[in-house]
Each structure stands twice: as structure tokens, then as C-alpha cells.
Amino acid sequence: MISVLDRKLLRDLRRIWAQVLAIAMVLACGVAVLVLANGAQLTLTETRDSWYDHSRFADVFATATRAPLSLTDRIAEIDGMAQVEARISDFVILDMPGMAAPAMGRVVSLPEAGEPVLNIPLVRVGRLPDPTRADEVAVSERFALAHDLAPGRSFHAILNGQRRELTVTGWMLSPEFIYAIGPGTLIPDDGRFGILWMGHDGAAAAFDMEGAFDEVSLRLTPGASVPAVVRALDDLLDPYGGTGAHGRDRQMSHAFLQSELDQLSAMAVVLPPVFFIVSAFLVNMVIGRLIALERQQIGLLKAVGYSTPQIAGHYLKLSIGIGVVGLLIGWALGAFFAGRIAGLYAQYFSFPYLVYVPSPGAFVLSGSLAVATVVLGALRAVWASVRLSPAVAMSPPAPPKYSRGMADRIGALLRLKQTTMMILRSLIRWPGRAAITVFGVAASVSVLVASFFSFDAMDAMVDDAFYQSNRAGLTLMLSQTRSPRVVEDARSLPGALQVEGVFAAPVRLTHGPHEKFLQLQAQPEGAELLRVLGPGGGEVPMPPAGVVMPAAMAEDLGLRAGDMVSVEFLVPPRETHLLQITAVTFQALGQSLHMNETALFDLLRQGPQVNMLNLLIDDAALPDLYAQIKTTPAVSGVMLWNEMRKQFVDEIQRNLWTMVLIYSILGILITVGVVYNAARIQLSERSHELASLRVLGFTKAQVAYVLVAELMFLSLVAVPIGWWLGYLFAAATAEGFSTDIVTLPLIVTRTTYGGATAIVLVAALASALLVKRRLDRIDIVTALKQKE
């Protein structure tokens, strides 16, 4: 049997449903984000971990130029080693049927005998290639789907300069290539990049690697130290052109997946508190008002013998009621979107299965947080009122105390109208409530600024990576290092308007305990296709000696311009040099060190060399150029910047409006929650006063001015605060999102500030006008008769 007091509670909730809903939606956003982020995180983590486990995903990875297979015995002796598997792996150019542009593939060899013991690929369709047959390959599932490569079909590859026909035996998924991207790219492009599993003998013959390997994976015993194994492995591989062993953290696919998980964690930590704090303030405002209105009922309850805890409990239950509405909506939304997100991830990540696992922890956590939020929000108001003695509570509250002061001086100075004075006095009389309104509106502006910032950052990144610093149409990777004469040869390629040679070498930077592996690029004087830019966007002149380094990397290493850094070249002659950092640069995509070309080759005591070619091309000649690339043995890889540019922009555009819509809804919900409630409370408190104005002959519009203008004034005050908060959020986002591969530039455009402002102000005005309709309908006589 439901008690009478609870029945009152339900009726109260129903009576103020619009306000309850406005708060509940804000709370629901916080809950939904928490459930969504946690659910997605749990889903990805559990799926990943279980697959890693089943497929025996390695713990340590390393590459070398060419190491003898016998070395694996010594690797197996490293302390903490469980299993080792060596293989041959290289990038190749593919000529796919029906595709003019060349595609790229990464050939991965299978063991000489038996099945792989580490990073075991999952056969989805067909079978693994016959180890004895050099013309058979299994391909990654997405690549197969993109090219309709049913088992038995074939395509061509340029293997070590030779064009060969390869026949597909099956489709595979691998824990190493959950996120599979080609060199120089960020987003998987199923049509242009694929993995090819090939029998060992075939790969060894194709790449001239008989009795040798260039990649090795290690699985460690539980509790073994990854850094120790990495050091030991580095020592063994050094003589064979080892480029630095590493744990899972630098394994490309794992790193991308981890970065996604980190972003989900950041989302779960940063966003929900904003919504929870705003909700707590709203509950405080609304329950506070409700209690003020029910002051006499509280007195009565006390008079008839209800105890203080019983009455306090009643109002806390009311606030919990609001919390429960928000929680249920939030849970439903969170679970719904978490279910959908599995599908979204399936666009980018290749898992054998991806089933949404609801995270009970997230439901419990969000539930506790939501209840704590509303209870904390209500506590102060409840406490203040239930303390009153019954006789005091039952007498009407003293009229609000206005006093002459600042408002009057301002009013006199500005010759303000009396209605404006009413606004001014109300702001000064209830500064706390004004502050809550300002804070809430500022929070929604900041959420919008921080959300729209990601589009600004993407734009800036694309502009930097594809237009400002990298102006090449395509880059050709050469299969071998060559003399600069190759640049002259390349000028005769079809459609080549401009050709620049590049030399890049892998290096290891060390500074104190910090260590980084990256490419050092030789920058020729006057290079136009690849420019090195500073954090401000201007070109950084190459110093005659020393290196320039990306600012983000310098920060990671604890270095500044002017400092010395130890640079170990991982290519022959494998020397270590102490070089000065002469300037820092900004690079949105990838992180490389740059050095004056002449200085570099002087340092290495070598003549100039080239291992990549940047080309500016005439689009009309592309088909001819593509055809030529597919048959040029010297080219081992190609990066089609024009295509990547297009793919990147398409990718952003594809989700742009959906994301703008979702973020706008979040921002609008906060604004509506705050402004609508503030307006309703104003209306309830001041209906007597406002009705009096009507009696005196003010028009509806003039009376509405008092209500609407105050809220719009507060909203305007909130806007710059929201900009500032939003900028802080954006900075945190940029920091959290940036990795060794991507650096998100901290650029917030005027469009973002303007858009966020416009959305919030329109939502605020609409909320205030919604309440104005109630004001218009107020019956003057009834309002005047009200006791309060």
C-alpha cells in the first residue's frame, strides 16, 4: 500500500513534469555517455583480449633488414621467452583487376612447416595457401570483399620487381591487423590496402630471403618483463639491421585500438561530470523552489506529527524521483547507442565478431552517480527548510529583502526603466541562482565548442598534412636506396610536373630515460613538395647543422629548442651522434625529424642518396602513370596523396552532420534544462509582481520583457565564459587525442564559437518564450489573490 505522502510525491512529479523532464534529460545525457563509453570500452576490450588470447597475439615485435633464421634459437633463449616466430614481410604494389590506381599489399610469410604458432590468423573462407606453392595467397577479408576475390580468383603483384600472378585460396582475419592501414595513411581503405599471407618458400624466393627473416614476434611467459626482452632482442638484432624491438604499444593495429579505448575512457571521465554538475544545480533550484512553495505544508506535516527526517526524506525521494526518470532515459539511450556503436566500430576494426556486452559496472556506477547527483543537489534546500520550527514554517515567508545599493546607483547612472531595474534587483537579490543559470548556459556553450572543435582540428589537420606541408600528389617508395640520378629519371614518368627526391632513415632518439623511434628525413634546399612548418604555420628554414623536431615529440622527450639529443641511426653505418635541436616544428600526421640534406650526408660520410620520390602530377596523365608504376620494379610502394585527401575529407563529411546533430542536441538539452527551469521558477515567484504590472497597464510584451530579458542577459554573460571553458576542453581533447602518429592542432575557429553561441542563444530564447506563453495565460485576478 503506497503511503499518502508518496502519493503526494507522485502527483507533485506529474504536476511539474516539464521541469522534471528538462532536468532528467540533462542527467540522462551524463548517464548515457557513461553507459555508452563504458559499454563500448568493455565490448572492445573483451573482444580484443579474448581474440588476442585465442590467437596467441605476440607480446614483442621487431624488424630487421635481414637476419639468419638460426638467430631464432638464440632469441628463444632470452629470459622470459615462451614462443618465437620469425617471418618475411614486405610491402608490394598490387595490380587489381578493374582498378586503375595501384593498390598496396603487405606480404606476410607463413611458417615453413605447419600452422603459425603466434598471431594465428583466422580462416574465414577457403584455406591457407599451400606452403610449397609460390603463386597462392590468402588475403585479408576486407580486401577480398572490396575486390570480390572469391577463392580461385587471381590478381597481379609486383614482387621484388617482378610482376606475378597470385591466386586467392582464402580470406583471413588477424589479431595483428584489426586496424589495417597502409603506409602514410590513418583510415583503413579496404580497396587500396590488403594483407597477403604467402607460403614461406614463395616469399623467401620472391624477396630473396632464403634462410633469413626480417620480422620476428615473441610471446612471453606470464610475468616476464617486456622492456628486458626488448633490450635483449635489440642486442641480438642490431648486427642485422634491427630497427628497434617494441612491445604491443607500438604495434600499429594495437596502438590504434588502444587509442580508441583511451578516447572512450577520456569521454567517460570528461563529459558526464559536466552533465551531472549541471543536473545537481538544477535539482537544487527546482526542489528549493518547490520547498519554498510548500513551506506551509511542511509546517503542517510537522504540526500533525511527522518528524524532520520523515519530511526531509519525502523531498529527497522527490529528487530521487527526478533522478530515476533521468537514469531510466539515460540507460535506455546508452544501451541503444552502445549497441549501435558495435556496428560503427565494425566499419574500422576487423574483428571476427563484435557483440555489445552491457557493462553492469557502468549501469551501477551511473545509477549511483545519478542518485548522488540529485540527492546532493536537493540536500541544501531540504535541510534549510526542514529545520524551521512548525510555527515559523506555517507563517508565510517574509517578503524578499531588497535594499538600495549598487543596483540603484547603476540604474540612476544609466537612467534605466523600472522594468529593467526589476531585472537588476532580481539579479542582485538572487546572485546564486543567476550564477547557476550562467554556469549552466556556459557549460552548454563549452560542450558545443569542444565538440565542434574536433571538426576544426580535422580541417586544420587535413590542411596541414595535405596542403601546407605535403603538396605532393603522390609519393613513390623505392625498393632500394639510389643515387639522386633517379630523380632525373622520374621526371620522364607520365604526367610528372615536378619531382623531388627524399631520403629517410629510421633512427632511435634517446634523452635520459626517454626513447623514441622515428624517421629522420633529409630536407633538400628549396624543397617545395614537402615543407617543414613551424607551430605558427610558417616554413622552418633548415639549419646548416642540427635537427628540427616536432614540438609534441620534443615535449614527450623533455626537450626544447637548443637542447642536444642523441640520434642513433638504425641503418648502416649504425652510428650514434649527438645533435642539437635548432627548432621545433608542427606535424599533424606522422612525426619525423628533419635535417639539412648536405649536413646529413656529411654526417654519415656518404654521397647523397634517395629512397623516396615526391611527385607533383598532371591528373590527366594519371592512368598512364598508374600503369607505369605497376610495371616499374624500382618502386616498392606508392602513397596516393590525392586519393587519401579525398578519402579523409569524405570520411569526415560522411559523419559530419550526424555528429553536429548529436553534439547540438547535447548542448541544447543543457540550455533548455537550465533556462526553462530558471524561467519557470521566476514565473512562479514573481507571478504576483508581474500580474501587478498588468493591472497597472503594462502590455504582455512589456511584462514578458522582465522575464525574458533577464534570462537572455544571463545567457549573454555566460557565452564568453563558455568559450573559455570550451577552449580548455578542446585543449584537453587535443592532448588526449594526440599520439605518435597524429597530432591534433589546437585551433578553434570563429565558426565554432559563433555556431555554439547561436545554438545556445536560440535554445535559451525558445525556452524563455515557452515560459512566456504561460505568463501570457496567467489570470491577473487569481495571481493577485495568491497569498505569496
Partner 1 sequence: MDAVAAQKAVFRTEGVTKVYGTGAGAVQALRGVDLTLYEGEMVVLLGASGSGKSTLLNILGALDTPTAGRVFFREQELTRASDRELTAFRRDHVGFVFQFYNLVPSLTARENVALVTEIAKNPMRPEEALERAGLKHRMDHFPAEMSGGEQQRVAIARAIAKRPEVLLCDEPTGALDSKTGVTVLEALTDINRELGTATAIITHNVGIQKIAHRVVFLADGRVAKVIENETRIAPSEVTW
Which residues form the interface with partner 1 (CB under 8 A)? 3-5, 7-8, 11-12, 15, 296-297, 299-308, 310, 389-392, 394, 787
Residue 326 contacts residue 27 (beta carbons within 8 Å): yes
Of 456 and 685, which has the nearer Cβ to partner 1? 685
Of 114 and 305, which has the nearer Cβ to partner 1? 305
Residue 216 and residue 245: Cα distance in Å, rounded? 9
The one-letter amino acid at 694: R
The one-letter amino acid at 407: A
Q: Residue 786: CB partners within 8 Å, gap ≥ 6? A: 687, 688
Shortest distance, position 694 Cβ to partner 1, whole Å: 23
Of 60 and 393, which has the nearer Cβ to partner 1? 393
What three-state secondary structure class fits 602?
Answer: helix
Of 307 and 580, which has the nearer Cβ to partner 1? 307
Shortest distance, position 788 Cβ to partner 1, whole Å: 12
Residue 11 and residue 16: Cα distance in Å, rounded? 9
Of 83 and 308, which has the nearer Cβ to partner 1? 308
Comparing CA positions, the residue from 495, 471, 482 lying closest to residue 636 is 482
Say whether the peptide bond before residue 573 is cis (omega within 30 degrees of 0): yes
Shortest distance, position 387 Cβ to partner 1, whole Å: 10
Residue 196 contacts residue 177 (beta carbons within 8 Å): no
Of 620 and 781, which has the nearer Cβ to partner 1? 781
Residue carrying C-alpha cell 616466430: 85
Q: Residue 401: CB partners within 8 Å, gap ≥ 6? A: 429
In angstroms, the Cα distances linking 206 to 121, 159, 198, 363 are 22, 6, 10, 55
Of 384 and 564, which has the nearer Cβ to partner 1? 384
Residue 44 and residue 42: Cα distance in Å, rounded? 6
Residue 499 contacts residue 512 (beta carbons within 8 Å): no
Of 574 and 785, which has the nearer Cβ to partner 1? 785
Shortest distance, position 308 Cβ to partner 1, whole Å: 7
What three-state secondary structure class fits 344?
Answer: helix
Of 390 and 534, which has the nearer Cβ to partner 1? 390
Shortest distance, position 782 Cβ to partner 1, whole Å: 11
Q: Residue 98: CB partners within 8 Å, gap ≥ 6? A: 147
The percent helix, strand, coil of the chain (3-state, each to 5) is 55, 20, 25
Residue 20 contacts residue 344 (beta carbons within 8 Å): no
Of 4 and 696, which has the nearer Cβ to partner 1? 4
Q: Which cell numbers hold the place of 639?
A: 602513397
The one-letter amino acid at 576: T
Shortest distance, position 383 Cβ to partner 1, whole Å: 15
Of 15 and 491, which has the nearer Cβ to partner 1? 15
Residue 348 and residue 180: Cα distance in Å, rounded? 9
Ordered alpha helix ranges (H), 85-214 = 141-147, 200-207
Residue 721 contacts residue 442 (beta carbons within 8 Å): yes
What three-state secondary structure class fits 212?
Answer: strand
Ordered alpha helix ranges (H), 482-621 = 485-490, 551-557, 597-603
Of 132 and 310, which has the nearer Cβ to partner 1? 310
- Write out the H or E segment, with its range, that includes residue 628: helix 622-630
Shortest distance, position 784 Cβ to partner 1, whole Å: 17
Shortest distance, position 396 Cβ to partner 1, whole Å: 10
Of 306 and 601, which has the nearer Cβ to partner 1? 306
Shortest distance, position 776 Cβ to partner 1, whole Å: 22
Ordered alpha helix ranges (H), 387-405 = 390-394
Q: What angle do CA 478, 481, 485 make, to 5 degrees?
A: 90
Radius of gyration of the chain (CA): 33
Shortest distance, position 661 Cβ to partner 1, whole Å: 39
Shortest distance, position 389 Cβ to partner 1, whole Å: 6
Shortest distance, position 3 Cβ to partner 1, whole Å: 6
